[in-house]
Structure 1
Amino acid sequence: MKGDGTQITGPAGRPAFEGRRWLFPSAVIHELDPDAVRPGRRPRRTARDWLVDFSCFLLSVVIGLLAADGLSDEHLPRGLAALDQLLGALSCAAVWLRRRWPAGLAVALLPVGLLSATSGGAGLIALFSLAVHRPFRYVAWIGGVGLAAQPLYYWLRPEPGLPYAVAVAFSVVIVVAVVSCGLLVRSKRQLMLSLRDRARRAETEARLRAEQAQRLAREAIAREMHDVLAHRLTLLSVHAGALEFRPDAPRDEIARAAGVIRESAHDALQDLREIIGVLRAGEPDENGRPQPTLAALDTLVAESREAGMKVTLAQQVTDPATVPASVGRTAYRIAQECLTNARKHAPGTEVTVTVAGAPGEGLAVTVRNPGPDGEVPPVPGSGQGLIGLAERATLAGGRLDHGPTAGGGFEVRGWLPWE
């Protein structure tokens, strides 16, 4: 499962370990896919679990049989020998419970190991299972008690043919080796789960980064949509309003306004079609029209003049093509939005666009217009144009200031970095 609750899937949409489930312990599968286990029930043994459990049972039985052959050397009474073998058989059978109750089984086999030599194999298997399935503090306490009981066991039941110290040391080495193997298996499982969890987090972070990049791209497209369509649609609104308020205008003027309306509508539809195509694709269209830069400012001013505006362009940049594309595009959008606003709110006035700057000094864009003569018919708008310009300039590392001037005019001043 991923951190957001979705299942880890492979290329075909199935769980990443499906088809190899038998290679994993049931405890690992439960960590990777908790939904595979019903609430209140333990995970089912996999084929690997059955193989390992049977091997552990068989090993405990073999060790018990070897210990049973040595009971005759200890000269135990028949009753004690039979009790030893009975406890050993029960201990071997209890090995099948090592996954369900590893700590309980290890604790229960501690006193049994003092009474039964044939239960020694089962006791070692229980300690190994405890080290695999439980934290180290359980192993330290239970294993420590087991090590402390070894001298007592060999004092009560000396090993024939071996000195007392050698027998105790050998049993301690065996117990430590078994516990160490169990801790090694546990650490390997934890490492595997940690690596898989890290991979899940990396996958989630990559997906979030991709979604964030896509969201930022869509926001940039939305800003372009506002800048481009606002300019086109303002031309439509201004000329349509002029035709409405002056139905008796000269025939040539009506024809020129109708031509501007037609061209603006065609350009607006083309821009809208391109933007919708980008939104559907989810990424910019590299085959679409190139984005405007500072070199296209002359074309923008010429278009505004054809629409009937009085525009003066003071281009003080020697070679506009040398301006970085991102800086030039931002300057173009500032001039475009300001011309659109001047056409809406101050029709008939002369607009002055000044562009100056050099590498290392930055690029300054100033758009100024005087106050309009008389009342201006209301033109609908979102009122977010200057806010969007300020945000665009800030994202480019610059700034934008605007406000009224003496005489009722308006001025927009922008500065952009030019490295």
Structure 2
Amino acid sequence: MTSDEPRDCPPDQAVRPRRRAIVVAMVLLGVLTLSTVLSRQASGSAALPLELVDLAAAVVSLALLPLMWARRSVPLALVLAALAAVSPGATPAATSAVLQIARWSPLRTAVLVAAASTAAHAVQGLWRPPSFPLGWWLLCDVAVHAALLGWGAYLQARAQLLADLRARARRAEADREQALEAARSGERNRIAAEMHDALGHRLSLLAATAGAVEYRPDAPPDQLAVAAGRVRTGAAEALEDLRQLVRLLRGGSDRLAPPPTLRDIPGLVDAARSVGTPVTLDRTGDHDPEPSPPVAAAAYRVVQEGLTNARRHAPGASVRVTVTTSPDEVRVVVADDGPARSADGEPGTGLVGLRERVELLDGTLDAGRSPAGFTLEARIPWA
């Protein structure tokens, strides 16, 4: 963090400098008040009773000044102005009160207090004539109070501006953190979905192929060789998918594989058939042009998830995949004739992520039991 950036101090660290400033200001005002009283006495312009009045006004004004700085009270400022009308010993405290009111109060209130203090000092000049012409005294009186009023308004506006900038910086920092966390969460969810859809499907195919070899160790050597080749190819493809995901997680420049299209669905069906799942594919409607990449990828993932679930929950069941394209939508149905699944428990992350993917495209996804088994159906608007 640089010195120009806004930062908040703990309360104890913020209060101590303010107390020091108040103490220093009080000392300076006390010295100024004392010098004012002594100068009047040294000049011999005041008789003994007036000297006592000056001394009393100075003591009372200095005693009231800490309350003025603590409470910033308009009545206290008016009391100090009244004392200034009686004696120049209260002038430093009265002018300081005008500055405080201008610093912390609304402009209208500050103008009224400054006008009252100006009038009080004009009265002082009338009955305690200064050493220079009265006209110059009144001009200096108005100029000083106008300067105090302007200075206080400037300090108030500056403080408000700094407070607004600090608040805006805090909000911007909070918004940036929220946006960054949302981006991280979205990227994690995207990578998790890719891992489940692509890597999970390949691993389920490997598991099905290995299971077939385990239960048929007496199969002909050529069939065992074909199965071993499928395991080797599937393992290599799964390893490559995993490497891409790891590179992406490490912040490399590699991107995930290009999104699949509807033309890749027959490959999914062939892979499922190769591990012993009886699958039929019906594709109707216009095959050209292809839908947008998000729609085509979502339809592909629906088929992939349906085949994976059928292989996992209803091994050996027949599966029928229907892909229908029309000018309005893409409809995908994956239905198997396996035994009914239990409705207990929460749905798997695959269906949850798949439903989110489809709904983001304004589509619908339905999954549940059917009279013949289990059906997964998605309708995605053409885009």
TM range (shorter): 0.7 to 0.9
Match of 2:263 in 1: 295
SS at 1:402 equivalent: strand
What amino acid sits opposite 2:356 in the alignment? E
Instruction: Please state how far the C-alpha of 1:182 moved relative to its aligned partner.
Output: 0.6
Mapped contact 1:68–1:118 kept (Cα < 8 A): no
Q: Residues 275 and 199 from structure 1, CA distance in 2 versus in 1: closer, same or farther, beyond 3 angstroms? A: same
Which is further off, 109-118 or 251-260?
109-118
What amino acid sits opposite 2:360 in the alignment? L
**Alignment partner for residue 415 of structure 1, among 363, 379, 383?**
379
Cα displacement string for residues 353-412 of structure 1 (whole angstroms, at most 9, x for unaligned residues): 2222234x011111223347xx99xxxxx8443333223212221111123333x33322
**Alignment partner for residue 395 of structure 1, among 353, 357, 360?**
360
Question: Kindly, what percent of the aligned residue pairs are identical?
Answer: 34
Match of 1:357 in 2: 325
1:304 and 2:264 correspond: no
Match of 2:344 in 1: none
Unmatched 5+ stretches in structure 2: 342-346
Match of 2:246 in 1: 276
State TM-score, norm by structure 1: 0.71
Mapped contact 2:94–2:117 kept (Cα < 8 A): no
Match of 2:335 in 1: 368
User: 1 CA distance for matches of 2:179 and 2:294?
Assistant: 23
SS at 2:182 equivalent: helix
**Alignment partner for residue 255 of structure 1, among 196, 219, 225?**
225
Cα displacement string for residues 306-361 of structure 1 (whole angstroms, at most 9, x for unaligned residues): 333333332335346631111111111111111112223344444332222234x0
User: 1 CA distance for matches of 2:42 and 2:151?
Assistant: 27
Mapped contact 1:127–1:178 kept (Cα < 8 A): yes
SS at 1:235 equivalent: helix
What amino acid sits opposite 1:358 in the alignment? S
Match of 1:340 in 2: 308
Q: Residues 135 and 35 from structure 1, CA distance in 2 versus in 1: closer, same or farther, beyond 3 angstroms? A: farther
Match of 2:8 in 1: 33
Which structure shows the higher helix fraction?
2
State TM-score, norm by structure 2: 0.76
**Alignment partner for residue 210 of structure 2, among 240, 256, 280?**
240
Match of 2:178 in 1: 208
Match of 2:103 in 1: 132
SS at 1:365 equivalent: strand
Cα displacement string for residues 256-296 of structure 1 (whole angstroms, at most 9, x for unaligned residues): 22222222222222222322332332xx8544422323232
What amino acid sits opposite 1:390 in the alignment? R
User: 2 CA distance for matches of 1:57 and 1:151?
Assistant: 21
Aligned-residue Cα RMSD (Å) equals: 4.5
Mapped contact 1:235–1:260 kept (Cα < 8 A): no
Match of 2:16 in 1: 42
Mapped contact 2:103–2:153 kept (Cα < 8 A): yes
Match of 1:157 in 2: 128
User: 1 CA distance for matches of 2:18 and 2:137?
Assistant: 40
Aligned length: 374
SS at 2:16 equivalent: coil
Match of 1:379 in 2: none
Q: Residues 136 and 42 from structure 1, CA distance in 2 versus in 1: closer, same or farther, beyond 3 angstroms? A: farther
User: 1 CA distance for matches of 2:326 and 2:373?
Assistant: 28
Instruction: Please state how far the C-alpha of 1:156 moved relative to its aligned partner.
Output: 4.5
Mapped contact 1:113–1:120 kept (Cα < 8 A): yes
Match of 1:123 in 2: 94
What amino acid sits opposite 1:307 in the alignment? V
